Every structure is written in C-alpha cells, then in structure tokens.
Structure 1
Amino acid sequence: MKNPYVPGINHIEFWVKNLEESVRFYGELFPLIGWYALNETSFSCGQHEIYFKEMPVDFHDSLGVRHICFHAISPEVVDAVEAWLRRQNADMIRGPLEMPHYSTGYYTVDFRDPNGFVLEVAYTPNARL
C-alpha cells in the first residue's frame, strides 16, 4: 500500500483571544480560497489542517510565525478576498497588487485577522516551491 502522506505541514494551531470571532472570520475567508470546515474549530484544504484554540488574553508564549500565505488558484480569487476583506472592514496591509520582483504573475493581498495575525492570499503561477 502506498503511503498517502508526503513531507509537508500536517497542521497549524492558532492560539486566539476570541474563538468565536476567529472561527467566524475564517469560516467566511476559507471558502473563498477553497478550504472547508472539518468541525467547529478546524479547517482544511484537503492536504493541511488549521485549527483554533482560545487562550487567555494575558497568556504569554514565544514569538510566532511572521505570516501565512495561502495559495489562490487565480487572480480573481485574490480580488474576491480583497472585496470580502473590505466588506469586513478588515485591517488591510497591502494589495491587491502585483509583485513581479517575487516572481512573474505574483498577485497578492496582505491583511490582519481579528487577532492581528498577518495573512496573505497570493496567486503565484510562476513561483518555485
């Protein structure tokens, strides 16, 4: 039997200040980029899982990831995310804009989620992974 697993990320756990707010935000964002709910606090794209756990506001731990970039399957997905973010009055960082110095066709929008985590949704047709 062939092993169904390949090297990569199994899951990402987000510690958040407000679980309900985070699940609502990602519950609307993720379907735009092809992710789906696994249960009340977890989402998947079919290869990776992201889940959320509420932590006390005064909880302190080590520094975390700078940002997470999600693949968009087309520039139109990036535009749809940007339009949704504007309707949410989300904290926009930049975009959507082309970033040809990263790779030809690189098209991105960067923003913060309700916890201040920096996220990116990018169409990267010529990026080497």
Structure 2
Amino acid sequence: MSNKVVIRLSEVTEEKIEGFGPGFIMRNPISPQTVGAKNLRVGYNIFPPKSGTAIHRHPGEEAWYVLKGRGFLRVGDKKYNFEAGCFMFIPSDVVHQTVNTGDEPLEYIFAVSPPFDVSKNVILEPFTEKHLSE
C-alpha cells in the first residue's frame, strides 16, 4: 500500500488516450498506480471546446460529475444532454462517447470500479468533428 493519502492534482501526471480528440487531458490521482487502490480509480478530465472522446467501451462501471461545461453523452444508442451540476453513469462494457459541444472546456471528476488500465479501452471510432452534430 502507498503511504499517499492526500494527492494534489497538480502533482499527477497527465495521460493521453489515442483517438480521444486533440487536447484531451486525463489525470488519475486515485488509482492502483498512485495509492495502491484495489477497487477504484478516480480521475479528473478536461476536454477543450468542441471536442470529445472516441466511441469506445471498457471494463468497469463509470460515474462522473460535471464541474464545468456542457455537451452530450452517448450510451448505447441513446444520447443524453448534460451541463455543470449533472451526474452520469455508464455501465461496464457499454459503448459510449462524451462530446463537449460548448465554447468552454468541459471538466469533470470521474470514478471507475473496478479500476482498469486505460490501454483496455476498446476504440470503435476515433473522435472527429462530425461527432459534434450527430
């Protein structure tokens, strides 16, 4: 077990995921790698305006809370609009995509359980500008 209990976001290395659109930033302050978490990964994502994730799926349930911005979340074949103050839930292994339709960065805190390595993301279609209007 790590002896880290308090983790400053500024101390956490940024991670990039191939196909998740330009400028996407992910930080994982709570994870097996940072604190030895066994059942949880908690992170902080930032998407620039008019950007988003690839259409993808991964193991682990995912929940998040939007701090800033607005956009839509595709889960399976449904589309859900969101804005700051909304919580989201994505079941394990369900195809989904996050799109920032706003003119400001989209920022949210997320949790995934059980934690998984981001290389386990299955990219079905990289993000492109066409996803902004679909």
Q: Structure 1 length as normaliser, TM-score?
A: 0.29
Larger Rg: 1
Greater relative contact order (Cα 8 A, min sep 6): structure 1 or 2? 2
Larger helix share, 1 or 2: 1
